[in-house]
């Protein structure tokens, strides 16, 4: 069913952007909304963590390599258009390692612009000698040698095996660095001073350690830091290497002591969230953890052999499971072998889960949005899931920009590049410019500063969103929007000698009968042509005296033109 509206009756209604609405790719970002970052040419890189600078530039961090040595990888891009920042590293990317191997799992940004990276540092390619590493770069990506005198610190656990890996790094209100670490038989938090040495005012020697019997020493740990410097950890643990693994939460007070109000002496064990739920550990994927507004935590986990489905578990402030969330405290993603566990908490208590729809080698990324009680957000995507249109670009993590847009990042599984996708709630503002014809003007969509071109040459003074063409040719527009310069597809203008719209003896009757437009002609017989705004002819015929019914079923929606003699009338077809 079509409805015919006079152009004068058409109103544009701006709908408010709500986080629960479905966003679309921001086409000014990268290529149609996706920016691939070639960090390690010919090799694979995984983006795992991010930090948003005050100037709007985005730092991304991870690790890469198709074999030993593995290296830390970083990139800095513009969040508006996805362009690399050439002032950072080498043309916007940084590839670096300390000693023989460096894996970067997390990053944080200092107030002075210096960049803290954290993960694992090893002196050899062997499996042993893998120590938790924290290091620092200057704002331009160069190593900050004032940090511990070498640029890095890889002090290990003081008890049991010293080996470990930092999974989350934070900077507290006093500029000190806190690292959440998983080892072989313990989990813990190390605190460093701004100079990169262990802070001995924290848990006696700078290392707060919690023995847990056994950990698989993979990436199965997530953590959050509160404003007072307390740190809460969720990790995969077990009583021994031969027993089932399960989830445990630990909480450390601002001085590094276990929180006696949390679990039992700071440790909350959850054997019911066990191997049957978690599956066997798969070290290539991370856990994540976020604070719930008010109190409590959400933990994202999954991506394990045997059961790759991501899950989210909800916990109260004391470390106990919250049975009111999801189903008995747990939400498990459905689908065929999805993987991933990156979480982002919206201000209203709804959470976003960034993951990959299929197995660990291919498949597009997806975002699940859950309401504060753990139910799929009905208005977001399909049943709460937004599938990325970019095949083989997986999502490991993501976040929401201040204006409401979403940024998701991970890897391009076709070529090993890092991959970033931006989804916008304001599609028009973040869309590529497109030229259309609204007699007698050419009109460009989008917002920003404009320059019109005719056959590749700038038109002097043509800097408005509309332009009245005075000659035939190919028109384009270069638009600078949010600092991104984009060029519209070419628009071929061929004048047909049409004059100003005239009332004359022709009138469009604003009713439709059986998919027909009705035109009333009070004069003699005259020819008519129906066109779209590009000038493409849709149909032609002859108007007799009186009313003529013109079939409209083949016309699409939107603005159309009907030329009668030397007059042009505009009308809108709306379904």
pLDDT in tens, 338-349: 777 899 999 999
The residue assigned the tokens 């405290």 is 329
- What share of the chain in percent tops pLDDT 90? 52
Q: What is the DSSP-derived secondary structure letter of residue 278? A: H
Range of lowest pLDDT (309-323, 432-446, 462-476): 432-446
Tell me: do 194 and 259 sit in the same domain.
yes
Its domain, for residue 450, covers 429-493
Q: Does 560 map to a domain?
A: no
Tell me: do 197 and 243 sit in the same domain.
yes
Tell me: do 44 and 169 sit in the same domain.
no
pLDDT bracket for residue 76 (50, 70, 90): very high
pLDDT bracket for residue 499 (50, 70, 90): very low
Give the residue among 528, 526, 525, 548 at the shortest CA–CA distance from 539. 528
Across the chain, mean pLDDT equals 85
Statement: residue 357 has pLDDT above 90? no
Q: Does 316 map to a domain?
A: yes
Tell me: do 362 and 378 sit in the same domain.
yes
- Among residues 281, 311, 327, the one where a domain terminates is 281
Q: How far apart are the first and last CA of the chain?
A: 6
- What per-residue string of b and e applies to 527-545 under the rule 16 or more CB within 10 Å gives b? ebbbbbbebeeeeeeebee
Per-residue model confidence (pLDDT) at position 72: 95
Tell me: do 353 and 395 sit in the same domain.
yes
Tell me: do 211 and 310 sit in the same domain.
no
pTM of the complete model:
0.77
Q: Which residue has the higher pLDDT, 337 or 298?
A: 298
Per-residue model confidence (pLDDT) at position 426: 78
Tell me: do 370 and 408 sit in the same domain.
yes
Could you give the 3-state DSSP secondary structure of residue 285?
coil
> Per-residue pLDDT averaged across 170-184, rounded?
97
Per-residue model confidence (pLDDT) at position 494: 63
Q: Which residue has the higher pLDDT, 171 or 446?
A: 171
Tell me: do 212 and 319 sit in the same domain.
no
- Among residues 281, 316, 351, the one where a domain terminates is 281
Per-residue model confidence (pLDDT) at position 6: 33
Most confident of 61-70, 156-165, 560-569: 156-165
Most confident of 307-316, 323-332, 502-511: 323-332
Q: Does 478 map to a domain?
A: yes
Per-residue model confidence (pLDDT) at position 384: 95
Helix (H) / strand (E) containing 489: none
How many residues belong to the chain?
575
| Residue 69 · residue 100 · CB < 8 Å | yes
pLDDT bracket for residue 312 (50, 70, 90): very high
| Residue 299 · residue 286 · CB < 8 Å | no
The residue assigned the tokens 């994927």 is 285
Q: What residues contact residue 483 under an 8 Å CB cut-off, 6+ apart? A: 78, 80, 81
- Among residues 281, 298, 333, the one where a domain terminates is 281
């Amino acid at each position: 069913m079509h409805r015919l509206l006079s152009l004068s009756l058409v109103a544009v209604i701006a709908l408010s952007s709500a986080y629960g609405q479905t966003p679309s790719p921001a086409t000014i970002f990268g290529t149609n909304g996706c920016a691939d970052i070639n960090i390690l040419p010919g090799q694979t890189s995984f983006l795992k963590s991010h930090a948003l600078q005050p100037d709007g530039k985005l730092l991304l961090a991870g690790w890469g390599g198709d074999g030993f040595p593995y290296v830390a990888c970083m990139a800095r891009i513009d969040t508006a258009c996805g362009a690399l920042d050439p002032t950072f590293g080498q043309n916007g990317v940084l590839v670096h390692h300390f000693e023989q191997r460096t894996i970067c799992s997390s990053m944080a940004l200092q107030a002075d612009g210096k960049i803290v990276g954290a993960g694992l540092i090893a002196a050899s390619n062997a499996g042993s000698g893998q120590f938790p590493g924290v290091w620092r770069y200057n704002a331009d990506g160069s190593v900050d040698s004032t940090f511990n005198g070498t640029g890095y610190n890889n002090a290990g656990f003081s008890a049991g095996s010293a080996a470990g890996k930092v999974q989350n790094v934070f900077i507290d209100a006093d500029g000190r660095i806190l690292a959440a670490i998983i080892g072989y038989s313990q989990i813990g938090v190390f605190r460093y001073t701004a100079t990169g040495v262990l802070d001995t005012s924290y848990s006696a020697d700078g290392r707060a350690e919690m023995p847990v019997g056994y950990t698989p020493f993979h990436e199965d740990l997530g953590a959050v830091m509160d404003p007072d410097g307390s740190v809460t950890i969720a990790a995969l643990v077990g009583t021994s290497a031969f027993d089932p693994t399960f989830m445990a939460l630990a909480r450390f007070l601002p001085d590094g002591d276990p929180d006696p109000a949390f679990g039992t002496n700071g440790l909350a064990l959850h054997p019911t969230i066990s191997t049957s739920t978690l599956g066997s550990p798969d070290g290539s994927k991370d856990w994540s953890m976020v604070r719930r507004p008010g109190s409590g935590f959400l933990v994202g986990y999954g991506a394990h052999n045997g059961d790759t489905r991501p899950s989210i578990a909800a916990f109260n402030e004391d470390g106990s499971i919250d049975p009111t969330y999801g189903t008995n405290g747990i939400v498990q993603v459905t689908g065929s072998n999805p993987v991933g566990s990156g979480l982002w908490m919206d201000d209203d208590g709804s959470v976003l889960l960034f993951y990959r729809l299929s197995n660990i080698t291919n498949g597009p990324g997806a975002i699940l949005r859950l309401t504060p009680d753990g139910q799929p957000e009905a208005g977001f995507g399909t049943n709460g899931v937004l599938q990325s249109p970019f095949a083989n670009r997986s999502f490991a993590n993501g976040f929401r920009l201040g204006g409401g847009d979403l940024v998701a990042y991970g890897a391009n599984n076709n070529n090993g590049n890092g991959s970033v996708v931006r989804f916008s709630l304001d599609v028009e503002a973040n869309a590529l410019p497109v030229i259309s014809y609204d007699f007698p003007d050419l009109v460009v969509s989008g917002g920003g500063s404009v320059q019109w071109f005719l056959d590749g040459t700038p038109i002097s003074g043509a800097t408005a969103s509309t332009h009245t063409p005075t000659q035939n040719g190919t028109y384009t527009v270069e638009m600078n929007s949010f600092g991104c310069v984009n060029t519209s597809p070419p628009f071929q203008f061929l004048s047909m000698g049409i004059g100003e719209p005239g009332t004359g003896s022709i009138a469009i009757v604003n009713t439709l009968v059986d998919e027909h437009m009705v035109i009333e002609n009070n004069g003699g017989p005259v020819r008519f042509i129906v066109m779209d705004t590009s000038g493409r002819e849709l149909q032609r015929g002859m108007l007799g005296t009186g009313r003529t019914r013109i079939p409209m079923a083949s016309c699409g929606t939107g603005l159309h033109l009907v030329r009668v003699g030397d007059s042009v009338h505009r009308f809108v077809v709306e379904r």
